[in-house]
């Protein structure tokens, strides 16, 4: 067929190839970082990575799925509490209990989705928030895990955590520092898996369908996209990923309480600002957003509530004047795309192409 | 000076250009019909004049003043009222409330009031407390015309007022036109039904693909000329 | 008897929630705008009243009368200059802007007034009560409930008996056609939000007199208000009152069983109603 030899569908850009190389170099650097970096940097990066994962999942939900949830703290909290439950009630190793956190978030997401999907738009946002509040209040009734005041991971469990002994001897550090390195690596793995996974998802047929559903549910339906199934997929994937992240965050924090683990500010407000400021509906946006968020936090950390005020004002300003976020501005100006998902038609071999057309014509003649 | 005129009017929906330099004028006391096939740009022209779409300031002039970039409510305030395509009654409002909306926020003086609109369309008085959307198509069209008249406009824009109505109902609706003219309004009527348009109008513009392809007084235009302008010359 | 008392207290509490919700319902009904800062605006108004009380030495009622036009102006300016710019088919921008506003307001109040809880000094009225058929009812809750009814009657009159109300409904139905009829939708929206802020001032007055408040309680009030609006059904102000009462009764009954279950019971009642009737009990407008 002449057509197929002339054109192919391509998503890569030249920038994305060099970005790919930079990414691989960065990943190697990040893996090796604990050999020479101090504990402070490791902890900062842990914070950045985990917030980035939360932001990517919220972005998947709201930016790609069109599901504006104000209740993702439900899954952070459920994941974290499930991890604590696994450790305290069943004596699991905290590292493996993280997986339990993901599973638990997935399980509670099913009835939640069943309920929340009956709601549209703004109702959905408020509904998810109420559900998160209900979970917080229910968990506060769970006396074995400290009720409303919360509890800590038992010493024995944290000391004997998987791989910490090996890290202690290899890097010659104490238990607490070893735990930081371990959680840092886990967060790094989670970030890579999340970005790679979402990138892959968006480039598959399903990803295209997702964009179609976001842009116009009715039109997408008419060309055979199952909008309901896509919403379920995105919602459940986001819930599970958010749950895993929540569990991981609390393996590092060691102490949990319902108010902290189900905090709408920490796990949803911050995350929304990261995504909005960086650029909603792109993979690059949350990465840029989390860096800005972290810099602002470091600069304004001493000013208490001024920090949140500034963050809120920036969020409002971005929404008013640059609704596609800072990354939107950058890629508009430069055309830069690191994670391109847009499909482009590329002329592969014009010479062959013209030949084949000619031969067709000759045959006609 | 014409009462209302467009000069080199262009209009876009995003990347799509719908009007390419349209020149149309309406004199005081005149009724002008705009005909053309679906997608010719007739409704876009109406939306541009009425301010639903904003254009270059000078592209639309009313009473000698540029109004092309004004919002719809301001254009209405100056005396150009529209009967929109598809009637667009407010479902939460009763018939009478729909009519009263036409006078919102200002004291209007002139021939048209609730009483004179009811005189024009007596059935509406009977149905005054029904929700506008509970009426038949023809009655809804009467409400839409009455609603626009309530502001006592100098120019009344009628966008496809016969669309989807039975012939006998269309006759009733058009029977009101002379009385509207007598009360002092000049009219621009968008019609797909050429016969109807020729009957009511002093002059006719025919549009195709965003351009005016034919212009003339209703009695001088030949069937063939209209046919060509309507469907695109010899191609048809 | 104790149960009757609990339920009546719940109904009266529902009056407060209906006051929280009435302004939200108005704005939501007219422009489909979800104002996530609504709770924080109530708290902001409460601080404004407190400021007037402490600086000018006024009674809270008098202070609220002065605060009301200020809040009216705040609402007008907020809608005119910020929220109108993000209204559209996409619900995300207004959600995010009001969410940002919520965070800004909370932290500005924290900076200005610290995290200490405050209360509006209302004097004897806070403890006064009347005997009614063997029940001891607080004057302030009764006053709150009466105010809620008055506000809803008033808003309904405005909606169905005035020219402005007609314009509200017409714009809510179809803003483009409303423009063709000489109505500037942006002005209608600004007026609606300004009126909502009058109701917010009244809600703030009762909030501040009945209980302690601090800069962080806004979001919880927002949730109760939203639950009331959603249970009632979009666009029905009487529905909003019923919704407030359902939340209020669920909370007092829950609290009577176990004090820790008060809030939880309210949320569960909301979820159950929504599960049975996703569009609320008395849906009027088509969404």
- Residues C245-277: tens digit of each pLDDT: 999 999 999 999 999 899 999 999 999 998 888
Q: By CB neighbour count within 10 A (0-12 exposed, 13-18 middle, 19+ buried), where does A342 fall?
A: exposed
Given pLDDT bands bounded at 50, 70 and 90, which one contains residue B151?
Answer: very high
The answer to whether B and A touch (≥3 CB pairs < 8 Å) is no
Q: Which residues of C touch B102 (CB under 8 A)?
A: 181-182
Q: What residue in B sits closest to C235 (Cα-Cα)? A: B92
A126 CB within 8 Å of a chain C CB: yes
C249 CB within 8 Å of a chain A CB: no
Q: What residue in C sits closest to A68 (Cα-Cα)? A: C92
Q: Which residues of A touch C32 (CB under 8 A)?
A: 121-122
Q: Which residues of A touch C247 (CB under 8 A)?
A: none
What's the gap in Å between the CA of C190 and the closest CA on chain A? 17
What's the gap in Å between the CA of A31 and the closest CA on chain C? 36
Complex-level ipTM: 0.90
Q: What's residue A214's pLDDT? A: 66
Whether residue C183 has pLDDT greater than 50: yes
Q: pLDDT by residue (tens digit) across C57-105? A: 999 999 999 999 999 999 999 999 999 999 988 878 888 899 899 999 9
What's the gap in Å between the CA of A68 and the closest CA on chain C? 7
Whether residue B82 has pLDDT greater than 50: yes
Q: What residue in A sits closest to C28 (Cα-Cα)? A: A122
Q: Could you tell me which residues come within 8 angstroms of residue A45 by beta carbon, excluding any fewer than 6 positions away?
A: A30, A33, A184, A187, A188
Q: What's residue A6's pLDDT? A: 66
The answer to whether B and C touch (≥3 CB pairs < 8 Å) is yes
Instruction: State the residue range of the domain holding C203.
Output: 2-114+137-217
Q: Please name the helix (run of DSSP H) or strand (run of DSSP E) that holds residue C194, with its range, or none.
A: helix C185-210
Q: Which residues of C touch A122 (CB under 8 A)?
A: 28, 32, 34, 91, 95
CATH number, residue A199: 1.10.3470
> Residue B71: which of C167, C184, C285 has the nearest Cβ?
C184
Domain membership flag for residue A361: no
- Per the structure, the count of domains in chain A is 1
From the first residue on, what is the mean pLDDT of each consecutive set of 10 residues in chain A (365 residues)?
57 74 90 88 96 96 88 96 95 94 96 88 85 94 90 87 85 87 95 94 79 65 71 94 97 94 92 92 93 91 84 91 90 79 62 40 37
Q: Which residues of A touch C107 (CB under 8 A)?
A: 305-309, 312
By the 8 A CB rule, do A325 and A287 touch?
Answer: no
By the 8 A CB rule, do C226 and C37 touch?
Answer: no
Q: What residue in B sits closest to C169 (Cα-Cα)? A: B92
Q: Measured between alpha carbons, how far is B149 from B114 in angstroms, rounded to an integer? A: 10
A305 CB within 8 Å of a chain C CB: yes
Domains, chain B? 4-87+153-235 (3.40.50.300)
What's the gap in Å between the CA of A218 and the closest CA on chain C? 15
C99 CB within 8 Å of a chain A CB: yes
Mean pLDDT rounded to a whole number for chain B: 90
Domain membership flag for residue C280: no
What separation in angstroms does the CA of C67 have from each of A195, C48, C58, C64, C235? 50, 7, 12, 5, 27
Instruction: State the residue range of the domain holding A253.
Output: 2-356
Domain membership flag for residue A362: no
C137 CB within 8 Å of a chain A CB: no
Domain membership flag for residue A365: no
What's the gap in Å between the CA of C280 and the closest CA on chain A? 11
Q: What's residue A222's pLDDT? A: 62
Q: Which chains touch C (3 or more CB pairs under 8 A)?
A: A, B
A64 CB within 8 Å of a chain C CB: no
Q: pLDDT by residue (tens digit) across C194-253? A: 999 999 999 999 999 999 999 999 999 999 999 999 899 877 899 999 999 999 999 999
What's the gap in Å between the CA of B135 and the closest CA on chain C? 17
Which residue in A289, A308, A312 has the most chain C C-beta atoms within 10 A of its own C-beta, making it the best mutation to test that interface?
A312
A303 CB within 8 Å of a chain C CB: no
Given pLDDT bands bounded at 50, 70 and 90, which one contains residue C136?
Answer: confident
Q: Measured between alpha carbons, how far is A140 from A109 in angstroms, rounded to an integer? A: 19
Q: Measured between alpha carbons, how far is A273 from A265 in angstroms, rounded to an integer? A: 10
The structure's pTM equals 0.88
Domain membership flag for residue C174: yes
Domain membership flag for residue C36: yes
Q: Which residues of A touch C28 (CB under 8 A)?
A: 122
Given pLDDT bands bounded at 50, 70 and 90, which one contains residue B233?
Answer: low
Q: What's residue A359's pLDDT? A: 37
With CB atoms and an 8 Å threshold, state whether C267 touches A130: yes
| Cα separation of the two ends of chain C | 42
Domain membership flag for residue C237: no
Q: Which residues of B touch C180 (CB under 8 A)?
A: 50-52, 72-73, 76, 81-82, 84, 88
Q: pLDDT by residue (tens digit) across B30-74? A: 999 999 888 889 999 999 999 999 899 999 999 999 999 999 999
Q: What's residue C182's pLDDT? A: 92
% of chain C with per-residue pLDDT over 70? 98
Residue corresponding to tokens 């008098």 = C62
Extended beta strands in chain B, E state: 4-13, 16-26, 31-36, 60-62, 65-66, 80-83, 155-159, 186-191, 203-208, 211-217
Q: Which chains touch B (3 or more CB pairs under 8 A)?
A: C
The closest alpha carbon to B101, from C181, C186, C184, belongs to C181
How many contacts (CB atoms, under 8 Å) link A and C? 114
C84 CB within 8 Å of a chain B CB: no
Q: What's residue A303's pLDDT? A: 82
> Residue C179: which of B73, B92, B100 has the nearest Cβ?
B73
With CB atoms and an 8 Å threshold, state whether A62 touches C92: yes
With CB atoms and an 8 Å threshold, state whether C170 touches B81: no
Q: Could you tell me which residues come within 8 angstroms of residue B22 by beta carbon, excluding any fewer than 6 positions away?
A: B6, B8, B9, B10, B41, B45, B207, B210, B211, B212
- Per the structure, the count of domains in chain C is 1
Q: Measured between alpha carbons, how far is C150 from A126 in angstroms, rounded to an integer? A: 27
With CB atoms and an 8 Å threshold, state whether C97 touches A269: no
By the 8 A CB rule, do C7 and C252 touch?
Answer: yes
Q: What's residue A219's pLDDT? A: 62
B71 CB within 8 Å of a chain C CB: yes
Q: What residue in C sits closest to B82 (Cα-Cα)? A: C180
What's the gap in Å between the CA of B160 and the closest CA on chain C? 16
Extended beta strands in chain C, E state: 129-132, 135-138
With CB atoms and an 8 Å threshold, state whether C163 touches B100: yes
What's CA A303's distance to the chain center, in Å? 28
Q: Measured between alpha carbons, how far is A217 from A195 in angstroms, rounded to an integer? A: 26
Which residue in C17, C27, C36, C92 has the most chain A C-beta atoms within 10 A of its own C-beta, making it the best mutation to test that interface?
C92
């Amino acid at each position: 067929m002449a057509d197929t030899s002339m054109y192919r569908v391509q998503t890569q850009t030249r920038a994305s190839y060099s970005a790919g190389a930079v990414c691989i170099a960065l990943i190697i650097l990040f893996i090796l970082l604990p050999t020479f970096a101090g504990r402070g940097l490791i902890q900062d990066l842990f914070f950045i990575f985990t917030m980035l994962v939360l932001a990517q999942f919220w972005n998947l939900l709201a930016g790609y799925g069109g599901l504006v949830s104000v209740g993702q703290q439900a899954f952070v909290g459920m994941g974290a509490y499930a991890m604590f439950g696994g450790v305290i009630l069943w004596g699991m190793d905290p590292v493996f209990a993280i997986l339990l956190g993901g599973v638990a978030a997935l399980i509670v997401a099913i009835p939640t989705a069943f309920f929340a999907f009956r709601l549209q738009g703004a109702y959905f946002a408020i509904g998810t928030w109420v559900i998160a509040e209900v979970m917080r209040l229910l968990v506060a009734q769970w006396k074995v895990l400290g009720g409303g005041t919360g509890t800590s991971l038992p010493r024995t469990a944290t000391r004997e955590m998987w791989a910490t002994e090996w890290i202690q001897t290899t890097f010659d550090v104490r238990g607490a520092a070893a735990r930081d390195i371990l959680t840092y690596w886990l967060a790094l793995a989670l970030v890579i898996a999340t970005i790679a996974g979402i990138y892959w998802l968006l480039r598959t047929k399903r990803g295209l369908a997702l964009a179609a559903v976001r842009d116009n549910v009715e039109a997408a339906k008419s060309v055979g996209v199952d909008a309901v199934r896509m919403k379920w997929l995105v919602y459940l994937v986001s819930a599970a990923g958010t749950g895993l992240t929540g569990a991981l965050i609390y393996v590092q924090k060691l102490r949990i309480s319902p108010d902290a683990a189900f905090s709408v500010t920490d796990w949803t407000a911050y995350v929304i600002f990261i995504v909005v400021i960086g650029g909603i509906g792109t993979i690059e946006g949350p990465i840029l957003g989390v860096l800005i968020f972290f810099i602002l936090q470091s600069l304004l950390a001493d000013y208490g509530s001024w920090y949140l005020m500034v963050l809120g004002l920036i969020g409002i300003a971005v929404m008013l004047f640059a609704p596609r976020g800072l990354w939107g501005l950058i890629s508009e100006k430069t055309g830069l795309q690191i994670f391109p998902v847009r499909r482009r038609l590329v002329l592969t071999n014009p010479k062959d192409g013209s030949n084949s057309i000619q031969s067709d014509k000759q045959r006609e003649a | 000076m014409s009462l209302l005129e467009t000069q080199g009017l262009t209009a876009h929906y995003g990347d799509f250009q719908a009007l390419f330099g349209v020149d149309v004028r309406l004199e005081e006391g005149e009724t002008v019909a705009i005909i053309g096939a679906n997608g010719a740009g007739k409704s876009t022209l109406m939306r541009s004049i009425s301010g639903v779409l904003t254009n270059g300031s000078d592209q639309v002039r009313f009473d000698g003043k540029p109004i092309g970039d004004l919002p719809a409510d301001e254009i209405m305030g100056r005396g150009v009222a529209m009967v929109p395509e598809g009637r667009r009654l407010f479902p939460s409002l009763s018939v009478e409330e729909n009519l009263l909306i036409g006078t919102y926020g200002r004291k209007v003086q002139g021939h048209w009031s609730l009483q004179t609109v009811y005189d024009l369309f007596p059935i509406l008085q009977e149905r005054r407390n029904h929700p506008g959307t509970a009426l038949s198509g023809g009655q809804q069209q009467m409400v839409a015309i009455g609603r626009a008249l309530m502001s006592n406009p100098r120019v009344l824009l009628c966008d496809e007022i016969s669309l989807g109505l039975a012939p006998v109902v269309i006759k009733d609706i058009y029977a009101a036109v002379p009385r509207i003219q007598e009360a002092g309004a000049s009219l621009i009527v968008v019609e797909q039904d050429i016969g109807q348009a020729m009957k009511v109008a002093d002059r006719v513009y025919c549009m195709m693909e965003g351009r005016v392809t034919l212009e003339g007084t209703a009695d001088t235009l030949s069937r063939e000329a209209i046919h060509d302008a309507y469907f695109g010359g010899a191609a048809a | 008897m104790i149960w009757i008392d609990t339920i009546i207290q719940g109904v009266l509490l529902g009056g407060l929630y209906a006051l929280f919700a009435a302004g939200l319902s108005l704005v939501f009904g007219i422009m489909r705008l979800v104002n996530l800062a609504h709770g924080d605006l109530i708290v902001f108004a409460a601080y404004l009243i407190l400021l007037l009380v402490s600086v000018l030495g006024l009674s809270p009622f008098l202070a609220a009368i002065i605060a009301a036009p200020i809040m009216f102006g705040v609402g007008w300016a907020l809608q005119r200059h910020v929220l109108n710019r993000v209204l559209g088919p996409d619900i995300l921008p207004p959600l995010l802007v009001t969410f940002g506003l919520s965070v800004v307001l909370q932290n500005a109040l924290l900076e200005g007034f610290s995290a200490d809880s405050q209360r509006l000094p209302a004097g004897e009225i806070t403890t006064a009560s009347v005997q009614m058929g063997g029940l001891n009812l607080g004057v302030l809750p009764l006053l709150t409930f009466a105010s809620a009814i008055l506000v809803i009657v008033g808003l309904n009159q405005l909606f169905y008996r005035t020219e402005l109300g007609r314009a509200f409904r017409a714009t809510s139905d179809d803003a483009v056609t409303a423009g063709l009829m000489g109505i500037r939708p942006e002005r209608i929206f600004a007026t609606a939000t300004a009126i909502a802020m009058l109701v917010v001032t009244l809600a703030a007055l009762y909030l501040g007199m009945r209980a302690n408040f601090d800069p962080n309680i806004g979001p919880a009030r927002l949730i109760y208000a939203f639950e009331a609006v959603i249970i009632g059904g979009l666009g029905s102000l009487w529905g909003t009152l019923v919704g407030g009462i359902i939340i209020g009764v669920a909370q007092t009954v829950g609290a009577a069983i176990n004090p820790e279950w008060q809030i939880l019971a309210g949320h569960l009642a909301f979820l159950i109603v929504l599960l049975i009737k996703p569009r609320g009990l008395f849906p009027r407008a088509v969404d």
